[in-house]
């Protein structure tokens, strides 16, 4: 494939993507404001470059100095309501202006493809399509939170710049993610319920769910393999694709998987006493993956294996 620049490389999805690309034998340039605060053996296959996503000159140097041929743009702030109130300008600068800077820097180089990691949040309060899921073609976009607004704004700006600069841009709207490499990094304000539950299970703390929380939960290593596939897939019909977990699961399923691995783990459901912090008072519709599945095969890790791998990662990188 060549050499892939991954922005936001020290973050949750960025690290998972870098790991998948290294496993496939690609050269990887990890671009972020700081290196990851830990080391894994596969990171020896990544050249980390420190830089801000808003710095067009630093991005241009990264492209030219490392002979970049492809890019995955994942750098973003995922804010909670407090950050929305206190730092709206920073959120928009990083998520929207930073995306434009990436396209500006890439325009001077002959990149074969750019993949932008957008979000299910771009759909916001929209009603799902007739099949009960969000559809790339059928759904109107109604983002309500500043994160979803910024992701949709970045999509629109990047698509326009791709036309002007004749760039191959593909947009992936990611569903709700969980799994290894997720941590409180300073740019991700609310961690996934799966992460919160797994941490509680390891420490012997009881966990109280607000509800079952049904969703097309997306295991990060599975997402990363699909992202890597999109970089080189020749049969993509269109430029915007959903990437959710496909199958519907619940937090109850996750708790039961953890209970199989940690028999003493206690959990319950009580909306009034929930120990989880979440951004959503109700369940969101799932994503319809049909367009992406038709071009790029899916790999779905069984939930028990995902739980085992998540606990192994936590033991290695977040010891009790």
- Measured CA to CA, the distance from residue 71 to residue 91 in angstroms comes to 22
- Measured CA to CA, the distance from residue 118 to residue 244 in angstroms comes to 12
The percent of residues in the chain predicted with pLDDT above 90, rounded, is: 89
pLDDT value at residue 188: 87
Q: What does the pLDDT average to over 239-256?
A: 96
Segment 43-85, tens digit of pLDDT = 999 999 999 999 999 999 999 999 999 999 999 999 999 999 9
E strand spans, 175-262: 177-178, 207-209, 218-219, 240-243
Is the pLDDT confidence value at 4 over 90? yes
- Measured CA to CA, the distance from residue 73 to residue 70 in angstroms comes to 10
pLDDT value at residue 299: 85
Which position has the token pair 């959120």?
A: 91
At residue 245's C-alpha, the angle toward residues 240 and 248, to 5°, is: 125
pLDDT value at residue 2: 79
Domains of the chain: 3-179+218-246+287-300 (3.40.50.720), 193-214+248-286+304-317 (3.90.25)
Segment 177-200, tens digit of pLDDT = 999 999 988 888 899 999 999 999
Segment 114-146, tens digit of pLDDT = 999 999 999 999 999 999 999 998 888 999 999
- CA-based torsion, 275, 281, 282, 286: positive or negative: negative
Q: What does the pLDDT average to over 93-98?
A: 98
pLDDT-derived band at 238, boundaries 50, 70, 90 = confident
pLDDT value at residue 110: 85
> Could you tell me how many residues make up the chain?
320
- Measured CA to CA, the distance from residue 272 to residue 162 in angstroms comes to 48
pLDDT value at residue 1: 64
- Measured CA to CA, the distance from residue 154 to residue 159 in angstroms comes to 8
Q: Report the DSSP pairing between strands 3-7 and 70-73.
A: parallel
Q: What is the mean pLDDT of the chain?
A: 95
E strand spans, 104-236: 113-119, 133-134, 169-174, 177-178, 207-209, 218-219
């Amino acid at each position: 494939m060549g050499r892939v620049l991954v922005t936001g490389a020290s973050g949750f999805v960025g690290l998972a993507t870098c790991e998948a690309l290294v496993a496939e034998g690609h050269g990887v340039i990890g671009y972020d404001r700081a290196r990851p605060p830990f080391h894994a053996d596969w990171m020896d296959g990544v050249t980390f470059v420190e830089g801000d996503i808003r710095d067009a000159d630093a991005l241009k140097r990264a492209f030219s100095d490392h002979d970049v041929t492809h890019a995955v743009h994942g750098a973003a702030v995922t804010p909670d309501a407090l950050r929305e109130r206190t730092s709206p300008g920073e959120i928009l600068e990083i998520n929207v202006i930073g995306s434009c800077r990436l396209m500006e820097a890439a325009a001077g180089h002959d990149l074969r493809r750019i993949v932008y990691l957008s979000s299910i949040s771009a759909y916001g309060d929209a009603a799902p399509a007739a099949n009960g899921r969000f559809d790339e073609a059928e759904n109107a976009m109604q983002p309500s939170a500043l994160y979803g607004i910024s992701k949709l704004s970045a999509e629109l700006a990047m698509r326009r710049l791709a036309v002007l600069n004749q760039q191959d841009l593909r947009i992936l709207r990611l569903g709700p993610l969980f799994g290894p490499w997720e941590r409180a990094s300073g740019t991700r304000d609310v961690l996934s319920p799966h992460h919160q539950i797994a941490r509680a299970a390891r420490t012997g703390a009881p966990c109280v769910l607000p509800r079952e929380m049904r969703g097309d939960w997306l295991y990060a290593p599975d997402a990363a393999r699909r992202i890597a596939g999109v970089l080189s897939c020749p049969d993509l019909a269109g430029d915007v694709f959903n990437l959710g977990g496909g199958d519907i699961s619940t937090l109850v399923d996750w708790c039961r998987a953890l209970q199989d691995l940690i028999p003493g783990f206690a959990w319950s459901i009580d909306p009034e006493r929930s120990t989880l912090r979440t951004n959503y008072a109700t369940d969101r519709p799932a994503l319809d993956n049909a367009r992406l599945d038709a071009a790029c095969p899916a790999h779905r890790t069984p939930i028990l294996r995902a739980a085992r791998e998540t606990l192994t990662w936590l033991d290695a990188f977040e010891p009790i």
